[in-house]
Structure 1
Amino acid sequence: MLTSDDLAARTARAVTAATAAGRDLGLHVDEPRVLYDVFSVIVHLAPSPVVVRVPTVLPASVRSSPERQTAQQRAELSVAGWLTDRGLPVVPPSPLVPREPVVLDGFSMTFWQYLDAVSDGEPDLAQRCASTAGLHAALREYDGGGLGFFTQFETYIPAALTELEHQPGLLDAADVQRARQDWEHLAPVLTSRAGFEAAFPGVDVQPIHGDAPFHNMIPTATGEYWSDFELVTLGAVESDLALVGPEGHAAYDAAAVGLGLRALDERVLAVTESAALLASVACLAMAPQLPMLVDALAPAVQSWRSRRAERA
């Protein structure tokens, strides 16, 4: 496990790299400041209206394949830029630099327009779920390519479970074996578009946010903006609504039908919710890089165990 000193040093290296990359691109940077620091260090290159996302906590499959990370970041920038260009409320890629990831000092980073976030109390989750239908309606038209199929699962889960086999202090051997059984059950429909379409005929596949868009929104004085398209992928819309609960599902369905889209499919929702919980369990493999994950993921791991027991 990294120590607090290790984590502070990693953050400092990320800030230094973001600052140097920004200046190399011609940005005026006097007072870089960290806005957020969990899986990525988010740096505002003040006084420039630019924010840099520097991923620092990475799954094994990405650590072993920098090209995979770069390809996914290009997809993220492409989709977010495409939505921005069409007037959707999305945190835009910075217009002051090229829409390309920048690699420096071992970090691959992306540049975004700075938005002044405001504290807006508890978000209206039902409203956010309803607005997600509008996001999906827009994404149906995206044809920029570069998107894999359910990459948020295929990229992270199998390699993470292999790591967890060698980290018995994070998840015991019996749980790892159960998690592998779950993945063997889910993989045929989550790693193959043909397999998914054969299992769920009539359920369409399209570009989706990939990582709980109802959660990844930034409130500002002029409204809420979707952010964090790091896991953008082709998939079923149900994945974007996994684990939000019945009220959120009902709000989404009402908005989707009003936009001429289909309502959520309960069978697909069950599969994607199982996959979302399994992905949370798999995230424990990154705890040596981010020790807070042990406690943060404990409720999700318990929920996964409980659901398995209910199915048994």
Structure 2
Amino acid sequence: MEPRELRRAVAAGREAAVALGLPVDDVHVVHNSDRVVLRLLPCDALLRVAPAQGLAEAEFEVAVARRLAEAGAPVAELDPRVEPRVPVRDGFAVSFWTYYAPTGSAIAPAEYADAFLRHHAALRAIDLDAAPHFTDRIASALNVVNDRDRSPELADVDRAFLADTLGGLGAAIGGDRARDQLLHGEPHPGNLLDTARGPLFVDLATCCRGPVEFDLAHAPEEVAPHYPGADSGLVHRCRALNWALFSAWRWRRDDQMPDRDRGRTEGLRQVRAALERCG
């Protein structure tokens, strides 16, 4: 978020917490992109604050978190001191989560894969009719890439490249749904916390349906070999697809990701490198 919006989001988070009886003296910005993650002290709560147009997504994430916690998944849990709902304050949707102090240790590939196995098992044990298919995400990205008003700075050659990549890989991977199940959706290293309870997944709003390789492709390359039964070729194709999705979002006119220009260049480079690896 831009500085002005960030200040409003911080104020909205503080007001929402105080209204629910949580003591707040200090607010620390943990992460800032299209939504903000805040740590509040001394109540030690973690808040996700997003523009109110993202209310449905925030409510979906809260519902997913409740179901997965009940199923024993390795996920960050909601704050037990407040009702599991998403209040709206000054144009922002606010959700409340448990804060987990980082241990400072790196998550080993085998440990990452084990967290995936337990997470995927819990996802198979719940029903989420509202969860989209991962190809819906591809369709949204193609809408951005194919609409010059929504991606005005995307060069024609790169526009054609991303459209071909998204369409081709989407059709190839999404055509066979025999391996589909519920997934995290974006379980990259930034969404797996190393805590005293072990690795815990966060950012659950991206839950979708697809093959487990779509999730594995978000993790470091060393992780997939520790996941029994994973199709390495499919993981490589999904990795190229994930970079194409990342690139499409960075070219949105209203993208709020910090250091967006570097992300645009790096995203296109990573798509090409991943496609070369796929052959």
- TM-score normalized with structure 2 length: 0.85
Map of 1:60 onto structure 2: none
Give the Å deviation of 1:178.
Answer: 1.7
* Residue in structure 2 matching 1:132, options 95, 116, 119: 116
Cα distance change on mapping 1:275 and 1:132 into 2, 3 Å: same
Give the Å deviation of 1:213.
Answer: 5.0
- Deviation track 1:3-51 (CA, whole Å, cap 9, x = no partner) reads xxx8222221110011112222332222222222234311122222321
Give the Å deviation of 1:125.
Answer: 3.0
Mapping of 1:61-210 within 5 angstroms?
Answer: 66=53, 69-120=54-105, 122-150=106-134, 153-154=137-138, 156-162=140-146, 167-169=151-153, 171-188=154-171, 196=174, 199-200=175-176, 203-210=178-185
* Residue in structure 1 matching 2:263, options 280, 293, 296: 296
Q: Aligned to 2:30, what secondary structure does the other structure show?
A: strand
> Is residue 165–residue 176 contact of structure 1 (8 Å, CA) maintained in 2?
no
Percent identical pairs in the alignment equals: 24
Aligned length: 278
* Residue in structure 2 matching 1:249, options 221, 224, 247: 224
Query: 1 CA distance for matches of 2:72 and 2:258?
Result: 39
* Residue in structure 1 matching 2:46, options 38, 44, 51: 51
Query: 1 CA distance for matches of 2:227 and 2:124?
Result: 16
Map of 1:59 onto structure 2: none
Map of 2:12 onto structure 1: 17
Give the Å deviation of 1:241.
Answer: 0.7
Map of 1:264 onto structure 2: 230
- List runs of 5+ in structure 1 lacking aligned partners: 1-5, 57-62, 191-195, 254-262
> Is residue 238–residue 268 contact of structure 1 (8 Å, CA) maintained in 2?
yes
- TM-score normalized with structure 1 length: 0.77
- Deviation track 1:148-184 (CA, whole Å, cap 9, x = no partner) reads 1116724641232145666454x31111012112233
Q: Which moved more, 1:16-25 or 1:212-221?
A: 212-221
- List runs of 5+ in structure 2 lacking aligned partners: none
